[in-house]
Amino acid sequence: MEGAVAPTLASPDTTPAGGEVRPWMVFLPGLGGTTRYYHDRVASLAATHRLLFVDLLGFGRSPRPDGAYTVDRHIAALRGAIAGRGPVVLVGHSFGARLAVTYAARYPAEVSHVVLLSAPYYPTPTGRDSARAHFARRSRWTRAAWTRPTVTRLLCTAAHRVLAPAMPRLVRGLPRDVVRDGLAHSTQAAVSSLYDALYGYDLTPDVDRLTGTMALTLVHGARDPTAPVAGARALAARHPSSRLLILPDADHHPLLRAPAAVLPAIAAGATACAAVTACTTGQPPRARDSQRVPSVLRTP
């Protein structure tokens, strides 16, 4: 069926002998990524949850149909994999984090809490969210590559047809399996998702639609050039039950840079975020961090 994404079970869909059913934790990758980004790196979370990895429509093992890759189309595809498993813990990285917010806003009964890793949120003085305005202020090269559709499509096509074999050597600072899977998509899926689903969609109304009882945990690198930490602070400030963990030395990939801090944050969620400070820094949580909503927890 068109629009059916490919979920991968990392935990058997069975009920233990004692009758206790572990809740589902669903992982959504970022733009250009696949669920390989998570796999072994989050395996420890299977102790408390059944893990489900879902490649976004047009990426990884999922179908790559023609046409526009809008937010509505992505969410419809995701629902086919997520509906009926809830309430689930929804974990998204980058573009996947934005889709997680929208999914939770549209189907709150299906989501218990949301964990956002490096969520790209770009508030403007008018209150709108504008990713395109952010990239338009970058260097001339970045501006051309990220805000001119013809250039973006050309670069994406060249990466697939010419640079693919060399990409693991050309891209530094990321695991080879992640870089290799960075080309597991169609050009149409990548370009349309960027322009139609990221640039063409204001996330602010969805953030405001999240119910106050839904836990929201944000994990963000202070050195993230793709999704500046100011956006994470602004997003957290809009939600009454949010918690924000800032990792001073991490970039756009906190799970890869600081798994010892990120995995407890995912596991704990918003309800026990203060405990994350203790388990990642070796220091007791401060009262003001555990009581303030939203709170900003920093590791030294």
67 assigned to some structural domain = yes
Q: Note the pLDDT tens digit of each residue in 65-121.
A: 999 999 999 999 999 999 999 799 999 999 999 999 999 999 999 999 999 999 999
Q: Is the pLDDT of residue 11 over 70?
A: no
The parent domain of residue 269 ranges over 7-134+189-298
Q: Give the pLDDT confidence score for residue 272 in this predicted structure.
A: 44
204 assigned to some structural domain = yes
Q: Give the pLDDT confidence score for residue 273 in this predicted structure.
A: 35
Higher-pLDDT residue of 88, 18 = 88
Domain with 194 in it: what CATH number?
3.40.50.1820
Domain tally, the chain: 1
- State the average pLDDT over residues 198-219: 90
254 assigned to some structural domain = yes
Higher-pLDDT residue of 14, 151 = 151
Site of tokens 């390989």:
36
113 assigned to some structural domain = yes
160 assigned to some structural domain = no
Q: Note the pLDDT tens digit of each residue in 28-40.
A: 999 989 999 999 9
Average pLDDT, the chain: 81
Q: Give the pLDDT confidence score for residue 296 in this predicted structure.
A: 41
Burial class (CB in 10 A: 0-12, 13-18, 19+), 17: exposed
- Asked if residue 232 lies in contact with residue 254, where contact means CB atoms within 8 angstroms, the answer is no
Highest mean pLDDT among 1-10, 87-96, 236-245: 87-96
184 assigned to some structural domain = no
Q: Give the pLDDT confidence score for residue 181 in this predicted structure.
A: 81
Q: Note the pLDDT tens digit of each residue in 124-159.
A: 888 788 887 887 777 777 777 777 888 878 877 877
144 assigned to some structural domain = no
Q: Give the pLDDT confidence score for residue 10 in this predicted structure.
A: 61
Q: Is the pLDDT of residue 299 over 50?
A: no
Q: Give the pLDDT confidence score for residue 197 in this predicted structure.
A: 94
- Asked if residue 220 lies in contact with residue 244, where contact means CB atoms within 8 angstroms, the answer is yes
Quote the pTM value: 0.84
Q: Note the pLDDT tens digit of each residue in 253-295.
A: 999 999 999 999 999 873 343 333 333 332 323 322 332 323 3
68 assigned to some structural domain = yes
- State the average pLDDT over residues 240-256: 94
